[in-house]
Amino acid sequence: MHGPSPGTVSMNAREAASVHTPTRAEAEAAVRTLILWAGEDPEREGLRDTPSRVTRAYEAFFAGYQEDPDALLATTFEEAGDFDDMVLVRNIRFESHCEHHLVPIIGMVHVAYLPHRRVVGLSKIARVVDVYARRMQIQERLTSQIAQTLHDALQPRGVAVVIDAQHLCMTTRGVHKPASSTLTQRWIGEFKTDPHLRRDFWQGVGSSPAAGGSA
């Protein structure tokens, strides 16, 4: 993979990357080592190209390190008339990877905001979700990052983000609970202080308002 872009990762990660950014050949060699460690022969016909495939897959899985979510929200529109009600984008499907085991997290994100003078293109909200999802993540941080980025860029009266996701580290290994899912919420501004707004949000996403009636 290419080295992370400045400003898209933590200071510790940037410092680590500055010491030595592995080459593609080094990344492929690491995959061969894992294949050997698992007990297979990386030179077997079916596995011979696997290191290259895995490296290309990682470039897609973690492409979010190369993108700046703030730049996606740089263009906003003030021509929304006097609209100041909730904007809700439901069922944004995402795929991420658990930073503890590097296995998938797959789920849905629901995002809402209360405009203050300006709105943003709806596709940009989905792209912000993708930028953060395509990094090594935990669901709690992913929820907060999406909400805080929208709040900082749009300065709305409120932001709500709810994620409902399955973690393959729970469903395919460890405790093996395939029916389990995890729900995380982040409320900012009026969504945090107004239970009626939260009720409207839950009704909008098709869930019981009682499930999210408290801050």
Catalytic residue selected from 97, 110, 151, 167: 167
Largest CA distance in the chain: 65
110 catalytic per annotation: no
185 catalytic per annotation: no
Q: One-letter amino acid identity for 64? A: G
Give pLDDT, residue 18: 61
Give pLDDT, residue 215: 40
Catalytic residue selected from 2, 100, 116, 196: 100
Contact criterion met (CB below 8 Å) for 98 and 138: yes
pLDDT digits (tens, 9 = 90+) for 117-165: 889 999 999 999 999 999 999 999 999 999 999 999 999 999 999 999 9
Domains of the chain: 11-66 (1.10.286.10), 69-212 (3.30.1130.10)
pLDDT digits (tens, 9 = 90+) for 42-99: 999 999 999 999 999 999 999 999 999 999 999 888 877 678 899 999 999 999 999 9
Give pLDDT, residue 25: 96
169 catalytic per annotation: yes
Catalytic residue selected from 28, 67, 110, 139: 139
Distances (CA, A) of 143 to 3, 6, 44, 85, 147: 25, 22, 42, 22, 6
139 catalytic per annotation: yes
What pTM was estimated for this model as a whole? 0.84
Give pLDDT, residue 111: 98
- The contacts of residue 23 (CB under 8 Å, 6+ apart) are none
Q: Among residues 166, 164, 163, 161, which one has the least CA distance to residue 201?
A: 161
Listing DSSP states for 156-174 in one string gives: -SEEEEEEEEEEHHHHSST
167 catalytic per annotation: yes
Residue 16 pLDDT greater than 50, yes or no: yes
Catalytic residue selected from 40, 59, 95, 101: 101
